Amino acid sequence: MRTAVRGAAKVLKRVKEADALRVSTAGSVDDGKSTLIGRLLYEANGLYEDQLSSVKKDSARFKRESLDLSFVTDGLKVEREQGITIDVAYRYFSTPKRHFVIADTPGHEQYTRNMATGASTSDLAIILIDARQGVLIQSKRHAFIASLLGIKHMVIAVNKMDLVGYSEDIFRKIERDFALFAEKLQVPDMVTIPISALKGDNVVTKSRRMRWYEGTALLNHLENVHILSDRNLIDLRFPVQYVLRPNADFRGYSGRLASGVLRKGDAILVLPSQRKTRVRSIVGCEGEVSYAFAPQSVTVTLEDEVDVTRGDMLVHPANLPQIRREVEAILVWMDPSPLEPGKVYWIKQTTQTLKCSVTHLQFRIDPGTLSRRDAATLNLNEIGRVTVQCFRSVFCDEYTKNRQTGSFILIDPLTHVTAAAGMIIERGHLPSMARPGDKTVSRSAVLHRQEGEVSQKERETLLKQCPATLWLTGLSGSGKSTIAYEVEKKLMAAGYLCYVLDGDNVRHGLNRDLGFSPQDRSENIRRVAEVARLLNEAGLIVITAFISPYRDDREQARKIIGEDRFIEVFADAPIEICEKRDPKGLYAKARAGLIPEFTGVNAPYEAPETPALCIRTGELAADIAAGNVCRFLEEKRFLKKDAGGSGGHA
C-alpha cells in the first residue's frame, strides 16, 4: 500500500512539473487537421465521457461510417455540416511527459487571419499535407505565416497515407517538394512524418504499414521536442499592466514578464522616464518570491517613489529595448476593409495603446513564391512590409528576438475591429524575397567592374604592406577613436601608409544626410565599408572607428571589404567607464531623453561574438592598446619588415 502511494505521488509530481507545449495545426482545407487532433485526444485518453458520447451521437446523426473524430474540435453547427473548420478551437490534454494546448485552425484562405491568431502563441506548428494533393499554395501560405510568427519547430505531417497505399515514393516526393520551399523559411527545427489520422498510423504509435519510415510517431516527437531554450531569459522586459494600490502602505506594479528574469534587489530602469531604482519585492500568486521569469505574472514593488503607470516598462539599465516612434514591420492584414496608408489607427503593443499610421507600404509578399509585389494597399489576409509611424515612442525589440515586445496589433478606431497583426523588423531586408523587375537588379546588369593596368601585388610591393581594414567597434566612450589615431601614428612613424575613417568625421560630409535610426545606421556602415574597400584596393591600411552596434551591419561590412582584409577589433569597456569618460555629455543627454536611440542607453549594442582582437580599453592605456594592434598586424603579415622609417610597429 505504502509503495503504491509513493508511486502515485511520484506520478503526480512528474505531471505537475511537466512543461506545456502549445501546438497549432495548419494546412489546406480538408487536409485532416481536426481529425488528427481528435485522434491524438482519443488515443491519448484526452477525451471526457460526455465529449466522446457527443462525438458518437453526431457521427451517427451525420451518417458517418465510423467514429468521426473531427467533431472533437469542429464545434460549430456549420462546421459539422460542411466538414470544415472556421473558428479556432483549443483543446487540452496531458501525458506523463508534457501538457499540450492544441489550436485547430481553419484551412480556407478566407480564414487565414484565424490561422494566424491560433499560431501567434504556439511553440510548434503542424502543417498537414494531403498525400493525394501534394504541396498546395495554402500549405505554403500557412508555413510562411508560421515562420513569420517566430515558430521555431515545425512538423510536416503528410496525411491520408492510407489513400495512396502507404507509398514511400509519394511521401518522399512531397518531402522533397516542401524542403525546396522551406529553404526560404527561417525554421531551425523541421521534421516530416507520414501519417493517417483516420486510421491512426504514426499518430500515437508507430505504424506497421510503413516500416520504411524510420522516425518516431507524432506524439512521441511532440513529447520530446525541446522548447525551453526558445524562451528569452536574457532581456528583461516587464510591461506594467496595472498599478496595484490596495491600501496606503502598498504600491505595486503588476504585469506579465515578457522576457528575462527579475530578482529581488535588481537595479531597474523605468521607461520612458529613465528613472533608476531597485526591486524591493516580487509578489507572485502564492506570495512573495525572490525571483520571477517569463512568462510569469507578478507584482513588483520598488525601493524609491518613482512615477510608474500602465504602459511603462521596467528593464535592466544595461540592457534596453529600442525606443522608437517609427518601426518597420511585416503586417498580416485581417480586416475586410483594405489598409489605408496615412489613416490613423490604434496600435496595441505590450500594454501600450496609442495612435499611429502606416506611412509607407513597401511591398506585398506572395506567400506561394515568397516574392515581392508592388502594391498600393493590403486586402484581407494579404501580407506586406510597412513603415508604421507612432504618435509617441514604443519600447520594442525585433520580433525574432522577442515575440512579446516585437509584436503588435492595429485596431480600426471607428469599428474597433482588429485590422492587422504586425511583427517588428529590426532593419535590412528579407533576402529570400526577390522583387521581379527590381530596378537595382536591372541596373546592375549594365554595370561592369573595371580593372586597371596596375595589379594589387604591385601596390603591395611599392607600399611594403598588405591592405587591411581594422574595424574598431564599441560603445561611445570606449576609446575607439583614441586607439585608431594612436595606431595611425605608430604605423606612419614605421613607414606604413594608413588612414583613419572616424565616425564623426564621416557624418560631417559623406553621410551628413543620415540620422541614427537602425536603417540609417545600416546605411552609414554600408557606405563606410564601400569607402574602406576602395582604399584597400589602393593599397592602404584603413582604420575605422565606429560604434556599429549591430552584428548584421558589421557582417555586411565584412562581406563588402572581404574576409581576408576585414579585421574586427572590439574596444571592450563597461558602460559605467564609458559614461565616466564621456567628454561631450552624450550619455547624460540621452538619459534625460534629449538624444533618442543612443547606443547603450535607449538603443542596443550587440557585442562581437568572435572578434579577431579584443582590447579591454577599461584596463589598458591607449598607447599599449595601439601597440597590441600593431603587433597583431605584424604577426598576421600585413606589415613588411623592410618598410621605410624605423621598421616594425614602433
pLDDT digits (tens, 9 = 90+) for 462-482: 888 999 999 999 998 898 999
pLDDT of residue 576: 87
122: pLDDT strictly greater than 70: yes
Q: Which CATH number describes the domain made up of 2-230?
A: 3.40.50.300
The CA dihedral of 362, 127, 153, 228, to the nearest 10 degrees, is 110
pLDDT of residue 51: 67
Cell matching residue 50: 460526455
pLDDT of residue 439: 40
Note whether 2-230 and 458-635 share their fold: yes
pLDDT of residue 63: 59
Domain spanning 458-635, CATH architecture: 3-Layer(aba) Sandwich (3.40)
3-state secondary structure of 589: helix
Q: Which of 154-163, 183-192, 507-516, 636-645 has the highest mean pLDDT?
A: 154-163
| Cβ neighbours of 198 (radius 10 Å) | 21
Residues 6+ apart with CB under 8 A from 645: 493, 494, 495
Hunting for cell 577599461 — which residue is that? 618
Q: Which CATH number describes the domain made up of 322-425?
A: 2.40.30.10
Residues 6+ apart with CB under 8 A from 19: 98, 99, 227, 228
Chain centroid to CA 637: 40
For the chain, what are the domain ranges? Answer: 2-230, 238-315, 322-425, 458-635
Mean pLDDT over all residues of the chain?
Answer: 83
111: pLDDT strictly greater than 70: no
27: pLDDT strictly greater than 80: no
CA distance 518 to 524: 10
pLDDT of residue 591: 80
644: pLDDT strictly greater than 70: no
Residue 94 Cα distances to 20, 28, 91, angstroms: 9, 27, 11
Hunting for cell 512590409 — which residue is that? 385
Q: Sort strands 418-425 and 407-411 into parallel, antiparallel or unpaired.
A: antiparallel
H or E segment at 531? helix 518-537
pLDDT of residue 414: 92
What integer is the mean pLDDT of 419-444? 55
Q: State pLDDT tens for residues 342-390.
A: 999 999 999 999 999 999 998 998 877 778 888 999 998 888 999 999 9
In the chain, % of residues over pLDDT 70: 82
User: What is the pTM (predicted TM-score) of this model?
Assistant: 0.59
pLDDT of residue 432: 42
Judge residue 63's burial from the number of C-beta atoms within 10 Å of its C-beta, 0-12 exposed, 13-18 middle, 19 or more buried: exposed
* Nearest C-alpha neighbor of 602 from the set 386, 323, 352: 323
CA distance 347 to 394: 10
Least confident of 118-122, 143-147, 151-155: 118-122
3-state secondary structure of 116: helix
Q: Sort strands 124-130 and 20-27 into parallel, antiparallel or unpaired.
A: parallel
* Nearest C-alpha neighbor of 32 from the set 160, 154, 156, 165: 160
Domain spanning 238-315, CATH architecture: Beta Barrel (2.40)
Angle between helices 551-561 and 518-537 (to 10 degrees): 20
